[in-house]
Structure 1
Amino acid sequence: MSDNALTRRGLLLGTAAAGAALAVPGPAAAGAKKRKLVVNGLPVPRSWRAAPFSLNRVDLAPSVFTEKRDRILAYARAYPADRILANFRAAAGLDTLGAQPPGGWDDATGNLRGHYSGHFLSMLAQAWAGTGEAVFKEKADAIVTGLQQCQDAWAEQVGLPGTPPPPATWADGGLELSGDGQYVGLPDATVDGLTAATIRIRLKISELRTWSRAFDFGVGPAVNMFLTIHDGTGPRFAITTSGSGGEQRIPVSAPLPVGEWVDLAVTLDGQVGTLYVNGVAAGTNPAMTLTPAALGAPKNNWIGRSQYGDAGLKAVVDEFHLFDRALTAAEITTATGNLAWYRFDETTGTAVADSSGRSWDAAVVTGAGGAPGPSHAGFLAAYPETQFIQLEQYVTYPAIWAPYYTCHKIMRGLLDAHTLTGNATALDVARGMGEWVHSRLSKLPREQLDRMWALYIAGEYGGMNEVMADLATLTGDRTFLATAAYFDNTKLLADCAADTDTLDGRHANQHIPQFLGYLRMYEQGAARDYRAAAENFYDMVVPHRTYVHGGTGQGEVFRKRDVIAGSIVTSTNAETCAAYNMLKVARNLFALKPDARFFDYYERTLVNQILGSKRDADSTTDPLVTYMVPVGPGQRRGYGNIGTCCGGTGLENHTKYQDAVYFRTPDDDVLYVNLYLPSTLRWTERKVTIVQSGDFPRTPSSTLTITGHARFELRLRVPSWARQDFKFKINGKATRVRVSENGYASVERSWRTGDKVEVSFPYRLHVESTIDDPTLQALVYGPIALVAKSASTTPVEIAGDPATVAVPGDRPLTFTAGGVTFEPFFLGDTAPYHAYFRRTA
């Protein structure tokens, strides 16, 4: 990296801070007024006892972290800015310049479109701060300019009248889909984890449209399963995890009748798939290997709509059934779905009741209609204001899909572009959005807000309270802090403040970022309960709902406290977004109260789930990141995820590895080394540079070399897994290790150029038992979770303690025990594995 690049980044960060009436950080002169410490363009709160360094102060040295990062940077360089802007331009009535939207959930019609663009903008800002490469700032600036143009176009439409969407048509014994943007959305987790299934639908086709779907479940064109009523010859079922070229198909050569009731069913048992027409087996495939479980956690669960954007289904739908087993031919037309059963016997409205007993209700999406112009200037989204209006009317998911969540991603991206690249326009656009949010929510009573935020998925708002608190800081306008409080999730906030654990059954990532927002609000003078709630919430998740790789949640949902073994037999553990946000909460809690326990968790999650969430392969067209990182027996990681929530957070995860390696006290008299990542720190306030060399986590040691002259206390985190073996030398001389109550070994001295601190933390094999089943265990090597490579779908069994019987393998960091090879979790491949094994003796 050139000195010019470093100077340019430093200047831009200083400009961002100055534009927000913030002081540029610098050493406090004797007797002078203390300067305000600024990190990544935001002032350090007075309540912080430790602060990280800005991203542009820490450079990563070659390691597994740079290997993962560089693959994401290649994607960031290649991806066109116009694609990121396509949905925004289309919604605002501007020319899309021929660009196609990203796809996935960020397709041209999806109810979450725009969220991926916000993450992409954050990634670019982080990439610029971390590397100084002009391409990242140029692309970020182009996106900000495009978003401003869209915001201006929306402003010209404020108050314009619109037309309501067409109503759902209930006629002729069912739901009549028009084929023009109407479909039925089924809930999340509808087919999650199923290794055997039957899907049955009864319908009357009005028009035999090629490729229109009876049903389609997936996350986009590459990962889905669908039944088309006509592929040019007849109906076809297909399932794939690698696009159309990887489809496993069940075709039928005869076309379906038009204008007559027809019963279609597909049975899957992992080996044989059969397609039935009117109860008769019309096609079969005896070589099926894919099941719904292979799809991960699809949220695009539709009747009448295609992942590929094909023609909509024009038909009357009478019944839909979903089973968790393959029915026999005798049962196929008479059994009723035990997982979902929609009778379509409603006469009005858009709700479709589930008769299976699980209350797995669906919703009719009837189309947007002619939406009215925005209610207030400053509105910016990749779709009209309709979803926000419908949320205030308590319309449920999937008819709408988390509009304020998407709003948060866009605003966060804009603020990151401002604070990390110095783009002043980005702050103007974000401020306009904040004013629009305040104009809507300030008019609503507390009871209405509480009911909105309690809605599953529809009421998910990401970190809107966090971004509003940051906006208040950057603009000096305290109105935005009041706006942040409108997002209080009152009941859960009160429960957590009182240390009452009510997390069971709650959507994990719907709630985790709320607590980061509460901390931001507390840091700006809000009630102490906000901090208490966040601290207690963190302790409810870590370790009580945390897997060996640091992840949390089953099927995106928090399960009962201390139920680990009881929640792993699934393909949908540990949503990557949840880990991304839990790391942010841990980092913020450390700033308020420096304690090694927060970085014991941070290290575990970073080294295992986050590193493992990036595939070890190159692509400039796909980020190749995970949605879920499952821990069940014989599971595989699915990489890709353009346009999904975890595809978005995945862009950010791998461009900010350096953001928590080093912390310092606000007086710049103590330096914390929290992570042993090879890196260079420029501590300009003390005129000191520290180079940390090594190859963590591949090697169990690190050396810190100091350039410059300064007196300060160096605090080295002593990992919980290395308490007995942690050692360090100063200039070759062994130093006695005294570990403080907060988990750090420290030494204070006057440091001089050439001083070296050699840190050793030898790895040992150890096992960790699940809280609820001592015989279900994980093998860990120092900070590295090891996975048993096996395709078995029942837990691998090992007699004896593998920590003592395991022998080193042929490759570094690998071991063999019980005839099974154990490898590091951070290796990003698609081979089946076991995060846990069954100990039999």
Structure 2
Amino acid sequence: MTILQSFNLAEVTLGPGLLSDKAGRMLDHLRAYDADRLLRAFRENAGLPTPSVPRPGGWEDPTGEANGNLRGHYTGHFLSALAQAFAGTRDPAYATKLRYLVDGLASCQEASGYLAAYPEKQFVQLETMTTADYTVVWAPYYTAHKLLKGLLDTYLSIGDLRALELAEGMCRWMFERLRRLPAEVLQRMWSLHGSGEYGGLAETLCDLYGVTRDPDWVSFGRLLDLDVLIDACAAGRDVLDGVHANQHIPIFTGMVRLFEVTGEVRYLRAAVNFWDQVVPGRMYSIGGTSSLEFWGAAGSIAGTLSETNAETCCTHNLLKLSRLLFLHLGDPKYLHYYERALYNQILGSKQDVVSADRPLTTYFIGLLPGSVRNYLPKDGATCCEGTGLESATKYQDSIYFHGADDLYVNLYCASSVQWGGVRVTQTTNFPYEQGTTLTVEGGGSFTLHLRVPPWTSMRAEVNGQPLEVDSGGYLAISRDWMSGDTVRIHLPFSLRSEPTPDDPTLASVFYGPIHLVALDNRRDYLRADLSIFRPIPGNPLHFDANGTEFAPFFEGTTQAFHSYIRVR
């Protein structure tokens, strides 16, 4: 039912450059991390002998926040990241670690008949709760979703049938519980902040249905409908003020997937309207959203700046929703947002060092003057460290899309895609280079669609012959392609400021698609005029403004920075 289709991670390869360098650091971490740490809580919960290894820390520690009620979620994220790493690299080290983890989880399931890292009572208590309390019940269906998704990703990546069997067993256990509950109980459960959060469970159930064609998984997905939210968004009513952001963003990826398998337009309409309520009205310059995990009123950006902005999970999930909506609707605004969020917050959420012990990714990002990114949040193993693992192992997943006779180039970066008998390679050092060259190997008649970013006056030429480019959408080039054909794309960068909607004197600075931050530890807003910015020789994408250095946010440093400055 989709207009376009995405490529498998194995069909798209990153070339040398910024994305590849960032991904490489996370790939090294995945390879080095001790898998027994990820199994410890499961083995303890199943009463099995447990090797003496450190816990992942933080939320995975039973003596940590909320008594470790969320433990087990990080193992699910890690499975997904390993599966993506293997799909993208074919390095057998990742497949070996996946099989070891599946072995361990299967042993735990056999020992207890129940696959989780915490007792069953969290599921039981949630059914009678009327007030949220994450110290008593902390999102058991959210944690189950992470593990379910990790197991399904493992099956899809390495074909391990045991992983699929474990995933189906988890789903059967949850479905049998939920299908017996009255509708009013389900609605109450899913509306509880924290306790009733279930993440992207509906999306993964649709994915599982795509593998097994068992209609129970679609029925299960429908049990997760939070009607008050779906109805409001489908009607175009903005009810997001005061709402927890990341509890709800993944609900809408599930709605798009439920639309795909049921044809129920209400789901798609709700997701489309929801996205428009977040972007751009609740979006910070880096592409992130939320303050202390919650949304404020639309248009309140300057008024919500704090040390706890832009929870990284939110951006991870908004990217997933954006790509799904583009596949259905083809509106370039979704990929314009995708570029902003990927090249700024997501790349900047990973510290530019390698650690065997920690993924070194952000949770919140402070956007007040003089903020410093914290790459060791909440003592470890948080939701955002988990999605950080996943984000950094799938940078290539939205560079290209395709139809029957159409190839879409959505993002500009060093990469190549194999599409049937055609291979298209991008050669570029973007964003350090202001353009890219596409080279065709193989041949055939198809239309190449090149995204025209709104921040540039794009120029393009085929085999040296210039093309006419309209602004803001996609440039379509239909021809009989032959090996050796080249498309050269020029993407000139320029400096610009983007004022906040609620304070036009406060703005962010961009150079092309790249958000520039002032490297300065002062806690008051700086004043700067773009006319004084001068490139720093030998340091690309860095500028000097009367002694203050501006640098790309994507550089994963621990330097104090200013994301917003006074421009009047």
Same fold (TM over 0.5): yes
Aligned pairs for 1:346-425 within 5 A: 379-394=114-129, 396-425=133-162
| Cα displacement (A) at 1:398 | 2.1
Q: 1:727 is matched by which residue type in structure 2?
A: R
**Counterparts of 1:74-113 in structure 2 under 5 Å?**
74-109=28-63, 110-113=68-71
Q: Which amino acid aligns with 2:480?
A: S
Residue 814 in 1 paired to residue 548 in 2?
no
Cα deviation, 1:272-304, whole Å, max 9, x if unaligned, reads xxxxxxxxxxxxxxxxxxxxxxxxxxxxxxxxx
Q: 2:266 is paired with a residue of what secondary structure?
A: helix
Aligned position for 2:410: 674
Shift of 1:839: 1.9
Residue identity matched to 1:384:
P
| Aligned position for 1:697 | 431
Q: Match of 1:651?
A: 389
State the AA in 2 paired with 1:49.
Answer: I
Runs of 4+ in structure 1 over 6 Å off: none
Q: Is the Cα–Cα contact under 8 Å of residues 46 and 112 in structure 2 kept in the other structure? A: yes
CA distance in 1, matches of 2:482, 2:401: 20
Q: Is the 8 A contact 1:101 1:108 kept in 2?
A: no
d(CA) in 2 for partners of 1:713, 1:141: 41
Distance 2:199 2:469 in 1: 42
Give the Cα separation in 2 of the matches to 1:606 and 1:489.
Answer: 29
Among 464, 467, 478, which residue is 1:735 paired with?
Answer: 467
- C-alpha displacement at 1:700, in angstroms? 1.1
| Residue aligning to 1:539 | 276
Match of 1:118 in 2: 76
Q: 1:390 Cα deviation (Å)? A: 1.1
Alignment of 1:433-472 (within 5 A): 433-472=170-209
Which of 421, 441, 447 lines up with 1:707 in the alignment?
441
How far off its partner does 1:529 sit?
A: 0.6
> Distance between the aligned counterparts of 2:547 and 2:55, measured in 1?
48
Partner of 1:754: 484
Could you list the per-position Cα deviations for residues 361-396 of structure 1 after superposition, in whole angstroms to 9, with x for gaps in the alignment? Answer: xxxxxxxxxxxxxxxxxx311011011111112162
* 1:567 maps to 2:304: yes
Q: In the alignment, is the contact (CA less than 8 A) between 2:352 and 2:557 conserved in 1? A: yes
Using the alignment, how far apart are the partners of 1:654 and 1:640 within structure 2? Answer: 17
How do 1:456-495 and structure 2 match up within 5 A? 456-495=193-232
Question: Matched residues in 1 for 2:95 and 2:190: separation?
Answer: 35
- Given the alignment of the two structures, is residue 828 of structure 1 paired with residue 556 of structure 2, yes or no? yes
Q: Secondary structure of the equivalent of 2:59?
A: coil
- 1:519 aligned onto 2:256: yes
- 2:112 aligns to what? 154
1:525 deviates by: 1.2
Alignment of 1:627-638 (within 5 A): 627-638=363-374
Q: Is the 8 A contact 1:90 1:96 kept in 2?
A: yes
2:330 to 574, 594, 617: 594
- What is the CA–CA distance in structure 2 between the aligned matches of 1:630 and 1:759, rounded to whole Å? 36
Partner of 1:27: none
CA drift of 1:629 comes to 2.0
C-alpha contact (below 8 Å) 1:512/1:581 kept by paired residues:
yes
Secondary structure of the residue aligned to 2:562 is coil
**2:20 corresponds to which residue?**
66
C-alpha distance in structure 1 between counterparts of 2:62 and 2:260, whole Å: 39
Q: 1:98 offset after TM fit, Å? A: 2.6
Deviation at 1:818, TM superposition (A): 4.7
Q: 1:466 is paired with a residue of what secondary structure?
A: helix
Q: Deviations over 1:297-345 (max 9, x none)?
A: xxxxxxxxxxxxxxxxxxxxxxxxxxxxxxxxxxxxxxxxxxxxxxxxx
CA contact (8 A) 1:797 1:818 kept: no
Q: Which of 125, 134, 140 in structure 1 is aligned with 2:98?
A: 140
Q: 1:750 to 1:765 in 2, by over 3 A?
A: same
Q: Which string of whole-angstrom CA distances, capped at 9 and with x for unpartnered residues, describes residues 162-195 of structure 1?
A: xxxxxxxxxxxxxxxxxxxxxxxxxxxxxxxxxx
Note the C-alpha offset of 1:731: 1.2
**Could you say which residue in structure 2 is the equivalent of 1:182?**
none
Q: State the alpha-carbon separation in 1 of the partners of residues 275 and 366 from structure 2.
A: 21
Q: Find the counterpart in structure 2 of residue 178 from structure 1.
A: none
Shift of 1:640: 2.6
Once the two structures are TM-superposed, the CA of residue 738 in structure 1 deviates from its matched residue by 3.9
Contact 1:85/1:101 (8 A) holds in 2 = no
- Letter paired with 1:824: P
Provide Cα deviations, 1:785-827, integer angstroms capped at 9, x if missing partner: 00011111121122xx41x332212421111225421110101
The answer on whether the counterparts of 1:738 and 1:746 sit within 8 Å (CA) in structure 2 is: no
SS for the counterpart of 1:721 is coil
Take 2:279 and 2:124, find their aligned partners in 1: how far apart are those partners? 37
SS where residue 561 of structure 2 aligns?
A: coil
Q: Whole-Å Cα distance in 2 between the matches of residues 634 and 398 of structure 1?
A: 33
Question: CA shift at 1:618, angstroms?
Answer: 2.0
Deviations 1:12-71 (A, max 9, x none): xxxxxxxxxxxxxxxxxxxxxxxxxxxxxxxxxxx2111111000011011111111111
- Matched AA of 1:751: W
The CA distance in 1 between the partners of 2:213 and 2:443, in whole Å, is 38
Instruction: Give 1:621 deviation, angstroms.
Output: 1.5
- The percent identity for this pair of structures is 46
Displacement of 1:455: 1.0
- Alignment partners' CA distance in 2, 1:526 and 1:453: 23
Structure with the bigger percentage of strand = 1
Aligned partners of 2:81 and 2:560: how far apart in 1?
30
State the Cα deviation string for residues 570-596 of structure 1 (Å, max 9, x = none).
Answer: 110000000000000000001101121
Letter of the aligned partner of 1:689 in structure 2? Answer: R
2:473 alignment partner AA: G
Mapped to 1, the partners of 2:367 and 2:158 lie a distance apart of: 38
The count of aligned residue pairs is: 559
Task: Letter of the 1:706 partner, please give it.
Answer: V
The equivalent of 1:618 in structure 2 is 354
Contact 2:62 2:69 in 1 (8 A): no
* 1:726 maps to 2:496: no
- Which has the larger share of helix? 2
User: Radius of gyration: which is bigger?
Assistant: 1
SS of the residue 1:681 aligns to? strand
Distance 1:838 1:390 in 2: 51
Deviation at 1:603, TM superposition (A): 0.3
Structure 2 residue matching 1:639: 3-state secondary structure: coil
Distance 2:84 2:510 in 1: 32
Distance 1:738 1:767 in 2: 23
| Deviates most, 404-413 or 727-736 | 727-736
- Out of 285, 301, 304, the residue aligned to residue 548 of structure 1 is 285
TM-score, normalization: structure 1?
0.66
Inter-partner Cα distance in structure 1 for 2:376 and 2:391: 15
Question: Which AA in structure 1 matches 2:440?
Answer: I
